[in-house]
Chain A
Amino acid sequence: AQKITQTQPGMFVQEKEAVTLDCTYDTSDPSYGLFWYKQPSSGEMIFLIYQGSYDQQNATEGRYSLNFQKARKSANLVISASQLGDSAMYFCAMRDLSSGNTPLVFGKGTRLSVIA
């Protein structure tokens, strides 16, 4: 079974600073994908970034980057130059990639607050 652990219930960061949100995972699947989603107070789930287990390089999408350490089973999200609009819940998720489209397993999330 897959499991995602996000150990930081809440985080504060100063505007324009970088912040790292932690995510560790557990799976026996040989091929898997790791995802980060953002949920602002309005409630929608916004896809941010994806990392495949066989990808050689860490994923980046604008100000978002994923620090993937396979041996440690961690997939931390790094947000650079934080903005007030980054204040939201952030969810780490994973799914098995070996059998077509499969459901996501989510962590409990980290609430990020960006301070001016």
Chain B
Amino acid sequence: DSGVTQTPKHLITATGQRVTLRCSPRSGDLSVYWYQQSLDQGLQFLIQYYNGEERAKGNILERFSAQQFPDLHSELNLSSLELGDSALYFCASSGAAQAYTDTQYFGPGTRLTVL
């Protein structure tokens, strides 16, 4: 158990809908990262938050947004869903920004299926 929790574990929805994925980082970790794993694109970084502030953006679509709350949990919002958004979405967390060797620990993932 990495200490990172993600809910829900599975999500099945229809095209055009909106969903919210939730992540709680390991105790004490300030950074949260969201990654998408799909068959064709592999593992891709979406967005990073550090202590409530957006720190880095990757290949995140405009239909997707995220935020990190004061209690450090994070939510990834996916809207106007398309079939191609079906993927495994991971949240990862790591500790203080200046810890060079800081390892990212991953949650169990949320498997999103868009029908």
- A residues in contact (CB < 8 Å) with B: 31, 33, 35, 37, 43-47, 50, 52, 91, 93, 97, 100-109
Contacts and interface: CB of A to CB of B under 8 A. Distances in A.
Interface of B: 2, 31, 33, 35, 42-45, 48, 50, 55-56, 58, 88, 90, 92, 94, 97-109, 111
B60 to A, nearest CB: 11
Nearest to B34: A103
Main secondary structure of the interface of B (DSSP, over half): strand
Contacts, number: 64
Contact of B42 (A37, A45, A108): A108
A98 to B, nearest CB: 9
A105 B42 contact: no
Nearest to A97: B100
A50 B31 contact: no
Contacts of B55: 101
